A and B are shown apart, each in its own frame.
Chain A
Amino acid sequence: MSAVLDASGLGKRYRQRWALRDCTLQVPAARVVGLVGPNGAGKTTLLQLAVGLLEPSAGQIAVLGGRPAENPEQLGRVGFVAQDTPVYSGLSVGEHLELGSWLNARFDVATADRRIDQLGLDRKQRAGKLSGGQRAQLALTLALAKRPELLVLDEPVASLDPLARHEFLQHLMESVAEHSVSVVLSSHLVADVERVCDYVIVLAGSRVQVAGDVEELLASHHRLTGPRRDVTQLPSDQEVIEASHTDRQTTLLVQTSGPILDPAWTVEQIGLEDLVLAYMRRAGDAGRTTQTKHLGSVK
């Protein structure tokens, strides 16, 4: 299996603060990968490392087998839609298409033209006058027309209204199906990820919490409800992601590859949203614990 994105021990530090830390992960090809996590979790940092806008402070990252932004060829193989979908406000829509063809040897003018027509964009209109949704679509058009093997999108729909968001994701999925391109997109909205992604990476507290195929993740995570008990007594193949107790009852979210055999548990399927939230909360708790420890050692 060839990984479109292969990171080991990857980290990025700004002065004293680590924006991303100890990130080891392999993203398989031909998937639509959702990168989720709270704001400030390091999503943008990871994606910018992948497209070569940033250089790692630690570890390595390989994208499609090469070093990001190493040369024009490598740059051409990866399409990128940056956060807030920047475009040149002084240039027209048509000029953006020209710009794409000037700067990319493999630029697919026909595809770009067709998409602009489908979107009903006026080629003469200045990009600065476009609505947020139109601007995002223009940025996506440019990225797709590069004919990339990997398309990276950083919070592409974050600033869009629900309708524009729906349309954007719809177009994205159609294009992905048409051109069979691998996609990595980040979002802090699990619902969007659930709609379009078949692989998910949860990033929180500057670290990867969990990564995997959505169906496999859902199949290996269960919500267990039963009489109150000590969670350290569980079988060794069951990892507790989250636990909550009332006086008489214990509710757990566990990850296990095997079946749940204990008849005392009521086993429930969980949704992606719950799964992601559980990992994020765990990362938040862990972060607070380390912080407290750190403060303690200072004293």
Chain B
Amino acid sequence: MIRLSWRQFQAQAAVACGLLLAVAILFVATHGHLDHLYAVYAQANAKCNASSSCPGVSINLGKLDQLLELIGTALVVVPALVGVFWGAPLIAREFENGTHRLAWTQSVTRTRWLATKLAVVGLASIVATGLLSLLVTWWSQPIDRARQDRFGSGLFGMRNVTPLGYAAFGFVLGVIAGLLIRRTLPAMATTIVAFLAVRLTFTYVVRPNIFSPHHKSLPLDPTNIGFGSSNGGPPSLMPNTPNLPNAWIYSEHIVDSAGHGLTSATVAASCPSLPFPGSGPAGSGGRVAGPVPGGIQDALESCVTKLSATYHEVVTYQPANRYWTLQWGETLVYFVAALAIAGFCFWWIRHRAR
């Protein structure tokens, strides 16, 4: 049965191997260049830290590097593709062509038939995604080290072990969709919708609530606080981003000792010299956040100094050292979900499928 499963999977496996090889060649060829870029960045960063007036530096990627970075971003869709193109047709195609009647009447029980198919293609899904994740994680190391934002903008699900869990889950999701729907195309569509729903729910609802976040109080720093408004709201002081490398920052707020937020009205009352709409020449609604240019800087600094007597900044975040716990934990959750779905597939194929 292993040989048949492998024979049926050969073409898809060849495509996957070809793509992986292409990515590997590209990455190996360009990795040295990235290391060089990182060295340049590290030097500039050290210089910047030594000076007091440097707002910070970032790694300077070329056009090609940015293009290659997209391959890393593609890793986020690979588990969905695995579910759609490897999982969904696995059984649906047999139903569609009636070949399950041929397969199930050979001298192999359908439990073993399913087990072998799941093992061969499921393992391939995990290995292929794992290899890609390994390549991407390795290649983007210099960029990730420079950015210090491992939890940020989807990166968490595109590095290290989480893609393996997603791949296992996406694959069995495709399999069960095919098993229940029995038609390839609708099963594919269902797979992608269900997969995205689960991934997004987990990422935005479950993951932030697994561990209660840490809170950190910082005094207001007159040189780093900005002035402006966000989302068209009334202008106020903008908290600065604290120096917490690789931490997952949920929010930054300026509050008083009782926990009440700093309002625009308070700022206006305490610091009349700041350009509020209608009160001064620069009062254009202040869409720009960040350090304020020109003579306003002095006004802002004295304002912040005044307010810092009663107000401070509170940062809510997950510390960087929870990264691996969350990585392995999330991977494990997806694997367990995959196993549970696979178990249901076995029950269904024994008692319900025809």
Contacts and interface: CB of A to CB of B under 8 A. Distances in A.
B107 A105 contact: yes
B321 interface: no
Contacts of B103: 103
Interface in B1-40: 1, 3-4, 7-8, 11
B99 A75 contact: no
B53 interface: no
B108 A82 contact: no
A82 B98 contact: yes
A72 interface: yes
A86 B354 contact: no
A91 interface: yes
Contacts of B101: 48, 53, 80, 82, 86
A146 B106 contact: yes
A75 B97 contact: no
A35 to B, nearest CB: 17
Given A82-B102, A89-B97, A106 B107 contact: yes
Interface string B99-139: 10111111111101000000000000000000000000000
B354 A91 contact: no
Interface stretch (A94-102, A247-255, A289-297): A94-102
A88 B99 contact: yes
B351 interface: yes
Contact of B105 (A71, A75, A87): A75
B107 A139 contact: no
Given A51-B105, A80-B105, A82-B105, A102 B98 contact: no
B104 A104 contact: no
Contact of B104 (A69, A98, A106, A142): A69
B108 A142 contact: no
A73 B107 CA distance: 7
A72 B108 contact: yes
A87 B103 CA distance: 9
A213 interface: no
A231 interface: no
A54 B354 contact: yes
Given A71-B109, A86-B97, A86-B102, A103 B1 contact: yes
Contacts of A100: 106
A53 B354 contact: yes
A46 to B, nearest CB: 14
B106 A78 contact: no
Given A82-B98, A88-B99, A53 B105 contact: yes
A197 to B, nearest CB: 21
A53 B112 CA distance: 15
A98 B107 CA distance: 14
Q: By DSSP majority rule, is chain A's interface helix, strand, loop, or mixed?
A: loop
B108 A139 contact: no
A288 to B, nearest CB: 29
Given A99-B4, A103-B1, A87 B102 contact: yes
Identify the interface centre among A79, A95, A99: most chain B CB within 10 Å of its CB.
Answer: A99
Interface string A241-270: 000000000000000000000000000000
Contacts of B99: 86-88
Given A48-B354, A53-B354, A102-B3, A139 B104 contact: no
A58 B73 CA distance: 55
Interface string B325-354: 000000000000000000000000001001
Interface in A71-127: 71-73, 75-76, 78-80, 82-84, 86-91, 95, 98-100, 102-106
Contacts of A48: 101, 354
Contacts of A239: none
A89 B98 CA distance: 11
A53 B104 contact: yes
Nearest to A105: B107
Nearest to B104: A53
Contacts of B8: 88, 90-91
A194 interface: no
Interface in B56-113: 97-99, 101-110, 112
Contacts of B4: 99, 102-103
B351 A146 contact: no
Interface of A: 48, 51-55, 69, 71-73, 75-76, 78-80, 82-84, 86-91, 95, 98-100, 102-106, 139, 142, 146
Given A83-B98, A84-B98, 11 more contacts: A51-B105, A52-B104, A52-B105, A69-B104, A69-B109, A72-B109, A98-B3, A99-B106, A103-B103, A104-B106, A142-B102
14 contacts: A48-B101, A53-B354, A55-B351, A72-B109, A79-B105, A80-B105, A82-B102, A86-B97, A87-B102, A88-B97, A88-B99, A99-B4, A99-B7, A104-B107
Give 6 closest A-B pairs by Cβ, nearest first. A103-B106, A86-B98, A76-B107, A82-B101, A80-B105, A104-B107
